[in-house]
Amino acid sequence: MTSEQRLPILLVDDDESILSTVEFLLTDEGYPVMVAANGSEALARAAAQTPCLILLDMKMPVMDGWAFAAAYRDSPGPHAPIIVMTAAHDSHQRAAEIAADDVIAKPFDVNHLLDLVRKYVA
Amino acid sequence: MTTTEPVNILMVDDQPAKLLTYEAILDDLGEHLIKATSGREALEHLLKTDIAIVLMDVSMPEIDGFELAEIIRQHPRYQKTAIIFISAVRLTELDRLKGYESGAVDYIPVPVIPEILRAKVSVFADLYRKTRQLEALNHDLEQRVEERTAEAQANVMRLRESEERIKVILQNTSAVIYLIDARGHCLQVNRGFEQVFGVTNDEARGQSIYALLPPETSAVWRASHQQVMAERVSNEFEEEIVSPEGIRTYTSIKTPLFDAAGKPSGIVSISTDITERKQAEDERAELLRREHDARLEAEEAIQIRDDFLSVAAHELKTPVTSLRATAQVIARKLQKGSQSAPQWLSDGLRVIDQQSERLTRLIGQLLDVSHLDREQRLGERAPTDLVAIAERLVAVFGARTTRHTLVFSGDERLVAAVDPVAIEQVLSNLIDNAIKYSPEGGRIDVEARLDDHEQVCLSVRDCGIGIPPEKRGDIFERFYQAHADDHRSGLGLGLFISRQIAELHGGSIRAEFPPDGGARFVVTLPVEASVAASIAPKTPA
């Protein structure tokens, strides 16, 4: 499978530096990546091209993680698994609220993030 | 004795033939006939038997009739016994009969006419019976009168005792008690009343109670009395009474009294002084109110603090995330590269990584305090190998320091039911402190083993600066820093949070200060940590 044929990972975060750092990390590991700065943008990206995995921040302007998750699940499938990335104290609670597939608390170890991504993307 | 019961008739004659004749004459009467042939024999009968009538011959040997009659009369029991003489008596002899003042005496001339004898005996027998009956009735009556009298006397005694008791109670209670009639005139007041109003019972009796009272009290009492009389039931009133000592508060129970016709005839009132109680109640209510307000304020302040901390932590974590990820990504990239990176660059990246992780821990502590305070909650407990955690932390912290030597010792495996994240936090805090407070470096011993009491024992020992004795008592308090004046880093929360976590596991934490310096912190946890009600399982992700 070439990189052209692989579905991208959708990375959603309103913090530009996190967005660019993680994008660099994933791209460097060979994953195609598309980025969005809020839920609304993310919905547009996902509609344009089906992602294989969504890394989702919760607290964002315009459309937050909760609204995105609800709208995304209402959109025609198939739906990619969602990993919540949050700086909230109770990260597991946040993840449970939108029935996410996994969760990683900010700040994270990049090796830990890569381990999680590998769990969902071949 | 009934009216038909036969009486005893004693017949005395020295000639048995005559006795037989009398017996034949009297037999029809149905009385009990006793025969005696001499005065002596007659006396013997009289001693043994109750005799109603003595029928005797006047002329007998030894003791004649008159002598016998005299002897009989001397005996108290026979003073009223009827005596009938049978004889051919001379007139002069008959005069002797008048000498007997009491008791019936009669005379039957010879020859005896049977009808006359029978009639006389019959009359005397009936008389005897009636007299006896009357005596019995009298006796019965007397006895009854006696009983009734005794009973009445006992009742009077009881009444007096009861009155005395009530009087003692009335006079010795601190309550204010009075009885009034329907018009409000005093029937009786007790000592409590006398003391409060300065009026004696004698002065008050017959007076209108409203005239005795201060005007304010009078109006209030009149209203309560009218209510009780109208409603015809007992009621309780809280009243203020103005006395020379000031205004006192009473609770008064006023009960209507009823006359024989069922009409309210007066009131008995019992008032208890509740001034002190009421004051205490008021004070208590005021204190409760203030305490409640203070608590609300405090809760509000805590809520504001927690909200702020929550927002602040989130905002702080975001740049740290970026900082740490960036440093890690650069380090990875350098490692993957063909050229080896300069030492100063990899060192610098390691510092950024370590310090950003440290910053994360500090932010976490701030939040842990507010959450442990409020929710007293741990994450889900699971069987956890504590040796694995300790060894991992020894490796992680060991890699970060060049001056300290971290050494693990203990069992090969040590499984306990704990919240693994929380316990790792405790050990991290203790190791971090050990490094921080041994600035000269040196050995740090980390141990994990079962102690003699089958409890999990985790300990961290350093050879650093220790803690001055006067500060050792406070080290587990929130925000306490034994070395605050040294400007060492930290929030003063590590040991506080560690203690909270240990206690939530049903365990404890303590500090020891070995004579050769440094400090040893020991956490003990039950192996089968009991699942306390306050420990809720974490919501599944």
List the single best residue of A55, A110, A112, A117 to mutate versus B (max B Cβ within 10 A).
A110
Q: Are residues B218 and B198 in the same domain?
A: yes
Q: Are residues B468 and B382 in the same domain?
A: yes
CB A100 to CB B541 under 8 A?
Answer: yes
Would you say residue B487 lies in a domain?
yes
**At how many degrees (to 10) do helices B420-436 and B343-375 cross?**
120
Chain A residue with CA closest to B325: the answer is A110
Q: Is B359 helix (H, G, I), strand (E, B) or coil?
A: helix
Q: Say whether pLDDT at B103 is over 60.
A: no
Answer with the one of B352, B375, B398 that is the final residue of a domain.
B375
Minimum mean pLDDT among A71-80, B151-160, B220-229, B300-309: which range? B300-309
Minimum distance, in Å, between the CA of residue B483 and any CA atom of chain A: 29
Q: Model confidence at B444, in pLDDT bands (50, 70, 90)?
A: very high
Minimum distance, in Å, between the CA of residue A98 and any CA atom of chain B: 10
CB B541 to CB A92 under 8 A?
Answer: yes
In sequence order, what are the residues at sequence separation of 6 or more whose Cβ sits closer than 8 angstroms to the Cβ of residue B447?
A: B390, B408, B409, B410, B457, B458, B459, B460, B461
CATH code, B253: 3.30.450.20
Show the domain range for B416: 376-526
Q: Are residues B484 and B386 in the same domain?
A: yes
What is the model's pLDDT at position B141?
A: 93
Answer with the one of B317, B341, B375 that is the final residue of a domain.
B375
What is the model's pLDDT at position B532?
A: 36
Give me the interface pTM, i.e. the ipTM.
0.84
Answer with the one of B356, B375, B394 that is the final residue of a domain.
B375
Would you say residue B259 lies in a domain?
yes
B34 pairs with which residues across the strands? B10
Higher pLDDT, B201 or A4: B201
List the single best residue of B316, B317, B321 to mutate versus A (max A Cβ within 10 A).
B321
- In chain B, what residues touch A89 (CB-CB under 8 Å)? 310, 313, 367, 371
DSSP code per residue over B67-115:
HHHHHHHHSGGGTT-EEEEEE---HHHHHHHTT--SS-EEEEESSPPHH
Would you say residue B61 lies in a domain?
yes
Return d(Cα B378, Cα B532) in angstroms, integer: 10
Are the CB atoms for B16 and B40 separated by under 8 Å? Answer: no
Angle at B173 between CA B172 and CA B179, to 5 degrees: 100
Minimum distance, in Å, between the CA of residue B294 and any CA atom of chain A: 29
Return d(Cα B217, Cα B466) in angstroms, integer: 75
- In chain B, what residues touch A21 (CB-CB under 8 Å)? 322, 325-326, 329
Q: Model confidence at B365, in pLDDT bands (50, 70, 90)?
A: confident
Higher pLDDT, A33 or B95: A33
Q: Are residues B496 and B386 in the same domain?
A: yes
Neighbour count for residue B66 (Cβ, 10 Å): 19
Would the CA dihedral through B118, B123, B124, B129 be positive or negative?
positive
CB B329 to CB A21 under 8 A?
Answer: yes
**At how many degrees (to 10) do helices B494-504 and B343-375 cross?**
50
Are the CB atoms for B419 and B381 separated by under 8 Å? Answer: yes
- Amino acid, res. A68: F
Return d(Cα B48, Cα B70) in angstroms, integer: 18
Q: Are residues B205 and B77 in the same domain?
A: no
A105 pairs with which residues across the strands? A86
What is the model's pLDDT at position A33?
A: 95
Would you say residue B166 lies in a domain?
no
What is the model's pLDDT at position B489?
A: 59
Q: Are residues B514 and B432 in the same domain?
A: yes
CB pairs under 8 A between A and B: 69
Q: Indicate the Cα dihedral angle A17, A22, A28, A33, nearest 10°.
A: -110
Q: Is A81 helix (H, G, I), strand (E, B) or coil?
A: coil
Minimum distance, in Å, between the CA of residue B335 and any CA atom of chain A: 13
Q: Are residues B93 and B232 in the same domain?
A: no
User: Total domain count for chain B?
Assistant: 4
Q: Are residues B399 and B468 in the same domain?
A: yes
Q: Are residues B238 and B200 in the same domain?
A: yes
CB A92 to CB B538 under 8 A?
Answer: yes
Q: Which two tokens stand for residue B299?
A: 């809760």
Minimum distance, in Å, between the CA of residue A29 and any CA atom of chain B: 10
Would you say residue B287 lies in a domain?
yes
Q: Are residues B78 and B206 in the same domain?
A: no
Q: Say whether pLDDT at B238 is over 80.
A: yes
| Mean pLDDT, rounded, for B58-82 | 80
Q: Is B495 helix (H, G, I), strand (E, B) or coil?
A: helix
Q: Are residues B469 and B390 in the same domain?
A: yes
pLDDT tens digits for range B368-427: 766 655 545 666 777 888 898 899 889 888 887 888 999 999 888 888 888 888 888 899
Q: Model confidence at B11, in pLDDT bands (50, 70, 90)?
A: very high
Q: Say whether pLDDT at B219 is over 90.
A: no
**At how many degrees (to 10) do helices B494-504 and B420-436 cross?**
150
Would you say residue B257 lies in a domain?
yes
Minimum distance, in Å, between the CA of residue A110 and any CA atom of chain B: 6
Dihedral pair phi/psi, residue B82, rounded to 5°:
-75, 130
| Mean pLDDT, rounded, for B176-184 | 91
pLDDT tens digits for range A59-101: 888 888 889 998 998 888 788 999 999 888 777 777 888 888 8
| Mean pLDDT, rounded, for B497-505 | 87
Q: What are the structural domains, with CATH classification, of chain A?
A: 9-120 (3.40.50.2300)
Measure CB to CB from residue B333 to each of A28, A102, A111 and give the nearest one. Answer: A28
CB A107 to CB B329 under 8 A?
Answer: no
What is the model's pLDDT at position B486?
A: 58
What is the model's pLDDT at position A4?
A: 52
List the single best residue of B311, B322, B372 to mutate versus A (max A Cβ within 10 A).
B322
- Amino acid, res. A121: V
In A, residues 13-42, which contact B (CB 8 Å cutoff)? 15, 17-18, 21-22, 24-25, 28
B449 pairs with which residues across the strands? B457
Would the CA dihedral through B483, B485, B489, B490 be positive or negative?
positive
Chain A residue with CA closest to B337: the answer is A28
Q: Are residues B515 and B409 in the same domain?
A: yes
Would you say residue B536 lies in a domain?
no
Q: Say whether pLDDT at B452 is over 60.
A: yes
CATH code, B506: 3.30.565.10
Place of tokens 């009808």: B115
Provide the percentage of residues in chain B whose pLDDT is more than 70. 89
CB B329 to CB A109 under 8 A?
Answer: no
Chain B residue with CA closest to A113: the answer is B325
Q: Say whether pLDDT at B139 is over 60.
A: yes
Measure CB to CB from residue B371 to each of A89, A92, A96 and give the nearest one. Answer: A89
CB A110 to CB B332 under 8 A?
Answer: yes
Mean pLDDT of chain B, nearest integer: 83
Would you say residue B83 lies in a domain?
yes
Dihedral pair phi/psi, residue A118, rounded to 5°:
-65, -25
Minimum distance, in Å, between the CA of residue A17 and any CA atom of chain B: 6
Q: Say whether pLDDT at B339 is over 50.
A: yes
What is the model's pLDDT at position B152?
A: 93
